[in-house]
Amino acid sequence: MTPEEFQAELTKRDIPISEEKMRQFERYLDLLREWNEKINLTAITEREEAYLKHFYDSLTAGLYVDFNKGVHSLCDVGSGAGFPSIPLKIIYPNLKITIVDSLKKRIGFLETLVKELGLEDVHLYHDRAETFGQNKEFRASFDYVTARAVARMSVLSELCLPLLKKDGTFIAMKAAHAPEELEDAKRAIGLLGGKVRETHSFDLPEEAGERHIILIDKKKETPNKYPRKPGTPNKSPLV
């Protein structure tokens, strides 16, 4: 997907994209490539692949969630090189973004990226998601929590649902095995206070793969013992 095709596809789908935003995406890619030579951020650095599998893929959340209504807070768990939250911030500048990532070097890249792109209201935290979710400052404080390709649904639910306000929405962005993962995670989602609202399945353009966006609403408070200690959700997923 060339930058021009990226712009045309977003326009076709009523996602607002200006020339200034296009320049921000181009600078994003330049910085990603530059930093990727020093630290391992991504295996995808070729321009057309990055526009499709990083930028466009991140923005598919905006096809199913209306980020234009009011000012919302969004926490991105395990963001890596900023996906999906930084592309969403570029397109929806009113979003208040919080990113938590366990690797200090990635946070260093994101600090540079946010400054270079002139983004405001982006807060970066070097922390484990399990610890972050037990922090009273952040627990049950976000309108949206998102994660893209971080872990299985049963694990992700334990990391993400505690961070949501009641009636907030967890946006899980998954690849091909999402239906099986969701089936395995249903009990955990209920235990953590969530309820699956809907699942959207689609293929990326250019036969770039199957994607699923699962929207889970938080209907009741998450029990205080979740998330468990760092590493425990991954080693012993809730079933």
Token duo for residue 7? 């712009």
How many C-beta neighbours within 10 Å does residue 187 have?
13
- Dump strand ranges (E) for the chain: 73-77, 96-101, 122-126, 142-148, 164-174, 194-203, 210-218
Q: What DSSP string runs through 28-66? A: HHHHHHHHHTTS---S--SHHHHIIIIIIHHHGGGGTS-
Q: Is 34 annotated as a binding residue?
A: no
Alpha carbon 223 to its chain's center: 24
Q: Is 83 annotated as a binding residue?
A: yes
| Exposed / middle / buried, residue 148 (Cβ in 10 Å: 0-12, 13-18, 19+) | buried
42, 81, 56: which is closest to 1 by C-alpha?
Answer: 56
Token duo for residue 151? 């872990």
The values of phi and psi at residue 30, to 5°, are -60, -45
Helix (H) or strand (E) holding 233: helix 232-235
Q: Is 152 annotated as a binding residue?
A: no
69 to each of 88, 92, 157, how far by Cα in Å? 14, 10, 25
Q: How far apart are CA 87 and CA 113, in angstroms?
A: 11
Q: Is 148 annotated as a binding residue?
A: yes
Which residue ranges make up the annotated binding site?
Answer: 78, 83, 129-130, 148
Which residue ranges make up the annotated binding site for S-adenosyl-L-methionine?
Answer: 78, 83, 129-130, 148
